[in-house]
Amino acid sequence: GESVGLHLPTLSVQEGDNSIINCAYSNSASDYFIWYKQESGKGPQFIIDIRSNMDKRQGQRVTVLLNKTVKHLSLQIAATQPGDSAVYFCAEEGSGYSTLTFGKGTMLLVSP
């Protein structure tokens, strides 16, 4: 079946650097995308979302980019902090559905 996947399982950055986490999706019918942050032993925490009629959305220190042509989603974190260390998941919702399909996740490690 179709699935959402990530290119990098682990990303190590220095504090203050900008981080980019990538996600490839294969379901062209998906029209809603979400990034979640999951810390060890906790549930996923909503970071930012984007609908398919947009290609960029900004939040506080985070930006999500959507490229529907190549079915690619990215999360940019500005001035990465040690508290940003976690596993990041992208998730997609298909048109007409309410269920989410999660990507494999990327571990972000931020060293001081």
The footprint of other proteins (CB under 8 A) covers 31-32, 34, 36, 41-46, 49, 51, 89, 93, 96-105
* Cβ 20 to other proteins shortest distance, Å: 20
Closer residue to other proteins in complex, CB, 17/31? 31
* Cβ 37 to other proteins shortest distance, Å: 11
* Cβ 93 to other proteins shortest distance, Å: 7
> Which amino acid belongs to residue 72?
H
Contact 27, 68 (CB under 8 A): no
Closer residue to other proteins in complex, CB, 52/74? 52
Measured in residues, the chain has a length of: 112
Closer residue to other proteins in complex, CB, 17/68? 68
> Which amino acid belongs to residue 30?
S
Contact 13, 110 (CB under 8 A): yes
> Can you tell me the distance from the alpha carbon of 108 to that of 104, in angstroms, rounded to the nearest whole number?
13
Picking from 85, 62, 76, 68, the residue whose alpha carbon sits closest to that of residue 24 is 68
* Cβ 56 to other proteins shortest distance, Å: 18
